[in-house]
């Protein structure tokens, strides 16, 4: 009987129970040799009676100890003592995702996608070592206080090296998260873990599991033939598509790898966190290039919000303003909005009057010069006396005062008597 104070192999002291599961109990303990706190998983005694379990357990533990990823719980040691099989693991300070869901019900799409991306990365690390988890569920996903996630409880995992020791037709895993092929007894693969993680995402987004039933068998069969309840309309379409693809009945219709699932979820989380909206393409998962649209200059006008969108769809302070070079002269802006007309002044009218006076003087000089030219031509050709009364007015004479006459009695270049 395991109880606080029990020491395994003279080294690992059991302190307090942390959790219980289908494969055994997890305890908080102390490694007296290295003086560090550890998690100790004690397998159920009934499992030891299963043919080949101990051999398979040792093979699994050895394989899992080779997985080096921050999202996968680290395996320190394993062994048998007092008819007990135990696993010494890293102690994760955090809460199971199941406890968080019980408290809050639902998670936001952005938060869900970020957690799922981390879990999928951890699964890919295990899959790369040939390990299939087989029991992905919220209770096996621990979330640290800083928000990082760790995948735990590989107690029923199966590696390729130990697959020949698996009992034929055995169905392992929790019914609510079981992949259809597992429920059908075909066997689990890496794509089965993708399905189970998709069910976890569904629960995070909706606050409930996709299938319910009175017995585990009934629930398992619904994964094979049933249709999950529609997700709420407030979930962005791209998030729904990512989760629905992970939960496809046919393994070939799911994300091909856990890494592909992680990439799609991470892109969606990034888009939602930055407020760009659900515009991320689901397939392919690589981001598409963005081209800039040239903006034509136009007259200034007050900004008005676009219909149905507050603030016209923009956010104050969302774009950086470049600093002006030191060599440029500062330009003082004009206050935004309609401007009052400039006050009337005499400067403009005075300038116009001067221009008109100058034009008039030039016209008079031109006429006088032309009249003088006509008089000289008539005198040279012997014109009639009537024409001799014409007064020759030259511009130079007018300016020098030699031909100065009053302009008042003159009409069309002639002087009256």
For residue 145, give the CATH number of its domain. Answer: 1.10.510.10
Tokens 């970020």 correspond to what residue? 114
Distance CA 393, CA 387 (A): 14
Q: Is there a single domain that holds both residue 12 and residue 79?
A: yes
Domain assignment present for 327: no
- pTM equals 0.63
Domain assignment present for 166: yes
Residue 135 is a catalytic residue = yes
Distance CA 29, CA 7 (A): 9
Q: Is there a single domain that holds both residue 134 and residue 257?
A: yes
CATH of the domain at 2: 3.30.200.20
Q: Is there a single domain that holds both residue 234 and residue 154?
A: yes
| Among candidate residues 156, 171, 186, the one with its CA nearest the CA of residue 217 | 171
Both tokens assigned to 324: 């002006």
Q: Is there a single domain that holds both residue 79 and residue 150?
A: no
Domain assignment present for 288: no
List b or e across 22-35, with b for residues whose CB sees 16 or more CB atoms inside 10 angstroms: ebbbbbbbbbeeee
Written as tens digits, the pLDDT of the chain (417 aa) is 688 999 998 999 999 998 877 678 899 999 999 999 999 998 887 777 777 777 877 887 888 888 889 999 999 998 887 678 889 999 999 999 999 999 999 999 999 999 999 999 999 999 999 889 988 999 999 999 999 999 987 755 554 444 433 333 344 458 899 999 998 888 889 999 999 999 999 999 999 999 999 898 999 999 999 999 999 999 999 999 999 999 999 999 999 999 999 999 999 999 998 765 544 444 444 443 433 344 344 444 443 444 444 443 334 444 443 444 444 444 344 443 444 444 444 556 677 777 787 787 887 777 777 777 777 766 665 554 444 444 444 444 444 444 444 444 444 444 444
CB 292 within 8 A of CB 286: no
Q: Is there a single domain that holds both residue 202 and residue 263?
A: yes
CB 89 within 8 A of CB 38: yes
pLDDT for 296: 42
| Among candidate residues 184, 196, 183, the one with its CA nearest the CA of residue 127 | 196
Q: Is there a single domain that holds both residue 117 and residue 154?
A: yes
Give Dmax over CA atoms of the chain in angstroms: 156
Q: Is there a single domain that holds both residue 265 and residue 390?
A: no
- Beta-bridged to residue 1, according to DSSP, are none
pLDDT for 19: 82
Distance CA 154, CA 16 (A): 21
Residue 101, CA distances (Å) to 137, 201, 202, 247, 339 in order:
12, 11, 12, 20, 59
Distance CA 99, CA 139 (A): 8
Tokens 């873990």 correspond to what residue? 193
Structural domain boundaries enclosing 4: 1-50+74-91
CB 256 within 8 A of CB 231: no
Both tokens assigned to 86: 């135990």
pLDDT for 393: 44
- Class of residue 59 by CB neighbours under 10 A (exposed 0-12, middle 13-18, buried 19+): middle
CB 203 within 8 A of CB 98: no
Task: Decide which of 65, 91, 117 is a domain's last residue.
Answer: 91
Element (H, E) at 78: strand 75-81
Domain assignment present for 213: yes
- Beta-bridged to residue 80, according to DSSP, are 85
Q: Is there a single domain that holds both residue 391 and residue 379?
A: yes
pLDDT for 352: 77
In 119-159, beta strands by DSSP E? 131-132, 141-143, 149-151, 158-159
- Total residues belonging to the chain: 417
Q: Is there a single domain that holds both residue 104 and residue 85?
A: no
Domain assignment present for 176: yes
Task: Decide which of 62, 91, 120 is a domain's last residue.
Answer: 91
Both tokens assigned to 62: 């050895």
Domain assignment present for 340: no
Distance CA 93, CA 78 (A): 21
Dihedral of alpha carbons 216, 221, 226, 228, sign: positive
Q: Is there a single domain that holds both residue 97 and residue 83?
A: no
Angle CA(404)–CA(399)–CA(406) in degrees, nearest 5? 25
Task: Compute how many other C-beta atoms are within 10 angstroms of the C-beta atom of residue 11.
Answer: 16
Task: Decide which of 211, 243, 273 is a domain's last residue.
Answer: 273
Tell whether omega for the bond before 284 is within 30 degrees of 0, i.e. cis: yes
In 109-194, beta strands by DSSP E? 131-132, 141-143, 149-151, 158-159
Distance CA 184, CA 222 (A): 11
pLDDT for 313: 39
Phi, psi (5° rounding) for residue 300?
-70, 140
Phi, psi (5° rounding) for residue 238?
-65, -35
pLDDT for 142: 94
| Among candidate residues 82, 92, 93, the one with its CA nearest the CA of residue 42 | 82
Q: Is there a single domain that holds both residue 85 and residue 115?
A: no
| Residue of 77, 121, 135, 193 marked active site | 135
Please tell me whether residue 236 adopts helix, strand or coil conformation: coil
Distance CA 138, CA 142 (A): 8
Domain assignment present for 60: no
Number of structural domains (the chain) is 3
| Among candidate residues 11, 263, 28, 283, the one with its CA nearest the CA of residue 123 | 263
Domain assignment present for 64: no
Q: Is there a single domain that holds both residue 82 and residue 128?
A: no
């Amino acid at each position: 009987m395991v109880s606080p104070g029990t020491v395994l192999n003279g080294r690992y002291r059991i302190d307090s129970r942390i959790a219980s599961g289908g494969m055994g109990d997890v305890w908080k303990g102390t490694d007296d040799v290295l003086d560090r706190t550890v998690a100790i998983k004690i397998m159920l005694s009934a499992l030891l009676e299963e043919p080949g379990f101990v051999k398979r357990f040792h093979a699994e533990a050895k394989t899992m100890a080779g997985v080096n990823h921050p999202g996968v719980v680290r395996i320190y040691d394993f062994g048998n003592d007092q008819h007990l099989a135990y696993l010494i693991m890293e102690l994760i300070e955090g809460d199971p995702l199941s406890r968080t869901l019980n408290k809050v019900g639902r998670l936001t799409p952005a938060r869900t996608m970020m957690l799922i991306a981390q879990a999928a990365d951890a699964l890919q690390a295990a899959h790369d070592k040939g390990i299939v988890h087989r029991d992905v569920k919220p209770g096996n996903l621990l979330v640290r206080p800083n928000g990082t996630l760790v995948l735990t409880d590989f107690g029923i995992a199966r590696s390729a090296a130990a697959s020949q020791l698996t009992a034929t037709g055995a169905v392992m895993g929790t019914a609510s998260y079981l992949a259809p092929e597992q429920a059908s007894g075909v066997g689990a693969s890496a794509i089965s873990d993708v399905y189970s993680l998709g069910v976890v995402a569904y629960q995070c987004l909706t606050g409930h599991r996709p299938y319910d039933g009175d017995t585990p068998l009934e629930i398992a069969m619904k994964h094979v033939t049933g249709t999950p309840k529609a997700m709420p309309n407030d979930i962005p379409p791209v998030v729904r598509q990512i989760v629905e693809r992970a939960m496809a009945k046919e393994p070939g219709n799911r994300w091909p790898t856990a890494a592909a699932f992680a990439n799609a979820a991470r892109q969606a989380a990034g888009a939602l966190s930055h407020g760009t909206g659900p515009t991320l393409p689901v397939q392919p998962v690589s981001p598409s290039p963005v081209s800039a649209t040239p903006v034509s200059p136009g007259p200034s006008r007050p900004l008005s919000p676009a219909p149905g969108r507050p603030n016209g769809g923009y956010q104050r302070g969302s774009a950086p303003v470049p600093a002006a070079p030191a060599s440029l002269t500062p330009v003082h802006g004009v206050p935004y909005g309609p401007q009052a007309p400039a006050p009337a002044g005499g400067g403009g009218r005075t300038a116009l009057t001067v221009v008109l006076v100058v034009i008039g003087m030039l016209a008079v000089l031109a006429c006088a010069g032309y009249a003088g030219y006509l008089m000289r031509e008539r005198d040279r050709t012997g014109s009639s006396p009537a024409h001799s009364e014409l007064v020759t007015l030259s511009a130079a004479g007018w300016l020098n005062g030699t031909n100065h006459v009053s302009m008042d009695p003159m009409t069309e270049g002639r002087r009256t008597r």
